Structure 1
Amino acid sequence: MARLRIAILGCGGYAGVHAQRLRQRDDVELVALCDVKDEITRAYADYHLADCPTAPQHFTDPAAMYRDAAPDAVFICTPHTLHFKHAMQALDADCHVFIEKPMVTNARQAHQLKARADESGKIVTVGYNSSCTPELQYTRNCIRTGELGKLELVVGHISQSWMAFTLGKWRQEPELSGGGQAYDSGAHLLNSLVWSVEADIDQVFAFIDNHGTKVDINSAINIRFANGVLASIAISGNCPTNGTYMSFIFDGGKINVDGWSGTWIEVFKGNRRIKYPPIVGEPVTPDDNFIDAIQGNAEPAATPANGVVQSELMDAIYESARTNAPAKPRRQ
């Protein structure tokens, strides 16, 4: 079987992780790098790909990259507000598309991208860790099957010194980021929520503190899903201790889990902790899930359908915080 030809669009910080993951597979070939300046792609290649037997081509124009390098798939690692344009362009170039989180930065774009992805028949995934872990997959299955009864409540938090380490960078510029910590690291927790509950958002009431910056740093978010599940999520971007915690509360038990990367889980049936919950399988990276899905060996984990619900949630969060009132998603 011919190796998949992969391009990376956006050669900033986390794109290096993708290079290292892709290099561990012998069924892919990294054929192209693209960023706004040639020196960015050159520095990226020198640092991450210096010992690769075949050097990728370098581009500053995505259209030229698709035309001249003809990749089968692209990893989009550009600033958040550029994701929609770049993903649509990649689909028009007949590429499978991996998008770093968040998928896009408003619900209108999310619906348009999902429709285009469905029409194209290409694999489109969003780079979330937790949905690729057996811990979160087990949690979602318990919700689906009712093994622990009916899900009633979800509470969670994520903390990180986000404000300090993004100071002076594009993540604190709304025209590039689309928002702050809730759209960046906080998106992992919010994706774990909507990916697991699998219901539309009914109503949101949110408070936001920008801490004097242009974007949200801390958020307190209350959510009611259309299926009646209630959720309360706190997102901290000004804490020196990194961490996350989610609790899915059923009428017959409870699951506590790492909602950021699914590294641990506690399961309670009734008032008894299950010592060895039946967690099956090993975690995979979002990169591996994407490649395996293209090859027909896996189901895509985080999809445009999940991105639509999360985008509707984010729009409602920001509207509620702006109006100081409950907000409902504006569906297309």
Structure 2
Amino acid sequence: MHSEISVGVVGCGTLGERLAKQVAGTVDGQITAVTDVNEESAQALASQFGLPAEETYSDYTRMYSEADLDAVIITTPHCFHYEQIMDALELDLDILTEKPLVTDLDEAFEISEKADRSESMVMVGFQRRIQSVFKRARERYQTTPPEIRYIDATLTEHWLELKDGTWRTDLEYSGGGFFTDAVRHLIDAILWVTGLTPTKVDATMDFYREGIESSGVMTIHFDNGAKATITGFADARTIREEYYFCDEDGSLLIEGHGWDESERKTLKIVDGDTWDRTQPHLQQHSDPGKGEVFIECLQTGREPPASIENSVKMIELIQAARDSAMSGEIVHL
């Protein structure tokens, strides 16, 4: 016997629509209310789910207090996450929030403390953790893993072209630029795949405008002596996302080009000197979406793939990298 999970959507743009459709595509998830300060966006999303006018809001606090909800999806600009998450926790609503949880470390700690006192489950939208290629890579470093010696990762996008003039390049709303918004996915994937513990960070960055990083290189030092070099460039003509994990037995190489289904990632595994196992990306676009995984976690009681605790570490690393780039000094964690 399944019980329906009533979900409200906070932020009715592209991401809100995508996650709402994923939730609605499950057996148990139901979109029952939506809210956006842009009333046209709210009405457009509401119409897709046949919602009446009384379940379409321009103020999220009214939706929280008036709608009969079990959970909320939050896909608003970063600066609004803190209040929207804290208010949802106050009502013991379960939460799927787009990354980042927040951009301020003190706010992240406050959310963590409040979540510990609530009955809510909070899932943060780091999708690499639910994609098959990264799950397969992670298997190498479970149980009795080979020692990891070096990691290199790169992300290039035409991010500036797409985001210039939007809230993502406005420091007040975004809290940062390309590393804050996109490169954090690479950092999260590296930490999740390897299980390594960071100890310090040094970085150099170029800033498109004050506080909005557009390119850079950061090095994460781990407690086992390994290093990860992560490069981001936001003004490229092509989308490339690549990872190289070098360990005492061989290597892993994850290669990705573009976001379309025809441009899936591949995983190559080296044992010794031979690239003897090349695996296509194991159907990336057949993997469940974040909305589907959120509903599954609520129904099964399974821990979410990315939790508040994971996000706190991510916020600390991004903040350390920005501080290092601005000061020219290594930042210890």
TM-score, normalized by length of structure 2? 0.90
Paired residues in the alignment total 324
Aligned to 1:269: 271
Distance 1:279 1:219, change over 3 A: closer
The question of 1:154 aligning with 2:151 is answered yes
Equivalent residue for 2:319, pick from 300, 315, 318: 315
> How do 1:73-222 residues align onto structure 2 when only pairs under 5 Å count?
73-147=71-145, 149-212=146-209, 214-222=211-219
Cα offset for 1:53?
4.7
Distance 1:136 1:227, change over 3 A: same
SS in structure 2 at match of 1:78: coil
Residues 123 and 290 in structure 1, CA contact (< 8 A), matched pair in contact too: no
User: Hey, what's the Cα distance between the residues in 1 that align with 2:174 and 2:50?
Assistant: 35
Distance 1:216 1:172, change over 3 A: same
User: Hey, what's the Cα distance between the residues in 2 that align with 1:248 and 1:136?
Assistant: 12
Aligned to 2:11: 10
Percent identity between matched residues is 25
C-alpha RMSD of matched pairs (Å): 2.4
Question: Which letter maps to 1:272?
Answer: T
User: Hey, what's the Cα distance between the residues in 1 that align with 2:187 and 2:124?
Assistant: 13
User: Hey, what's the Cα distance between the residues in 2 that align with 1:71 and 1:227?
Assistant: 45
Q: Deviations over 1:284-329 (max 9, x none)?
A: 2121111100111644111112101111101101110110111123
User: Hey, what's the Cα distance between the residues in 1 that align with 2:172 and 2:189?
Assistant: 26
Aligned to 1:288: 292
Question: Which letter maps to 2:289?
Answer: T
SS in structure 2 at match of 1:184: helix
SS in structure 2 at match of 1:143: coil
User: Hey, what's the Cα distance between the residues in 2 that align with 1:264 and 1:64?
Assistant: 45
With 60-69 and 169-178 compared, the bigger mean Cα shift is at 60-69
Distance 1:278 1:18, change over 3 A: closer
Q: Deviations over 1:22-59 (max 9, x none)?
A: 2322311101111224233113334xx1xx35547111
User: Hey, what's the Cα distance between the residues in 1 that align with 2:211 and 2:200?
Assistant: 25
SS in structure 2 at match of 1:43: helix
Residues 101 and 126 in structure 1, CA contact (< 8 A), matched pair in contact too: yes
Distance 1:42 1:65, change over 3 A: same
User: Hey, what's the Cα distance between the residues in 2 that align with 1:7 and 1:53?
Assistant: 14
The question of 1:36 aligning with 2:37 is answered yes
The question of 1:250 aligning with 2:247 is answered yes
Residues 106 and 314 in structure 1, CA contact (< 8 A), matched pair in contact too: no
Structure 1 unaligned residues grouped into runs of 5+: none
Task: Tell me which stretches of 4 or more aligned residues in structure 1 moved more than 6 Å.
Answer: 259-262, 276-282
User: Hey, what's the Cα distance between the residues in 1 that align with 2:255 and 2:278?
Assistant: 17
With 76-85 and 110-119 compared, the bigger mean Cα shift is at 110-119
User: Hey, what's the Cα distance between the residues in 1 that align with 2:209 and 2:77?
Assistant: 22
User: Hey, what's the Cα distance between the residues in 1 that align with 2:78 and 2:313?
Assistant: 17
SS in structure 2 at match of 1:275: strand
User: Hey, what's the Cα distance between the residues in 2 that align with 1:213 and 1:44?
Assistant: 34
Aligned to 2:331: 327
User: Hey, what's the Cα distance between the residues in 1 that align with 2:56 and 2:318?
Assistant: 35
Distance 1:286 1:227, change over 3 A: farther
Cα offset for 1:278?
12
Aligned to 1:19: 20
Question: Which letter maps to 1:250?
Answer: D
Residues 10 and 34 in structure 2, CA contact (< 8 A), matched pair in contact too: yes
User: Hey, what's the Cα distance between the residues in 2 that align with 1:304 and 1:264?
Assistant: 29
Question: Which letter maps to 2:172?
Answer: E
Residues 201 and 226 in structure 1, CA contact (< 8 A), matched pair in contact too: yes
Question: Which letter maps to 1:192?
Answer: A
The question of 1:58 aligning with 2:52 is answered no
With 286-295 and 182-191 compared, the bigger mean Cα shift is at 182-191
User: Hey, what's the Cα distance between the residues in 1 that align with 2:281 and 2:255?
Assistant: 14
Question: Which letter maps to 1:223?
Answer: I
Cα offset for 1:241?
0.2
Residues 160 and 242 in structure 1, CA contact (< 8 A), matched pair in contact too: yes
SS in structure 2 at match of 1:5: strand
Question: Which letter maps to 1:26?
Answer: V
Aligned to 1:228: 225
Q: Deviations over 1:255-302 (max 9, x none)?
A: 112589883211112223343669999622121111100111644111
User: Hey, what's the Cα distance between the residues in 1 that align with 2:144 and 2:251?
Assistant: 12
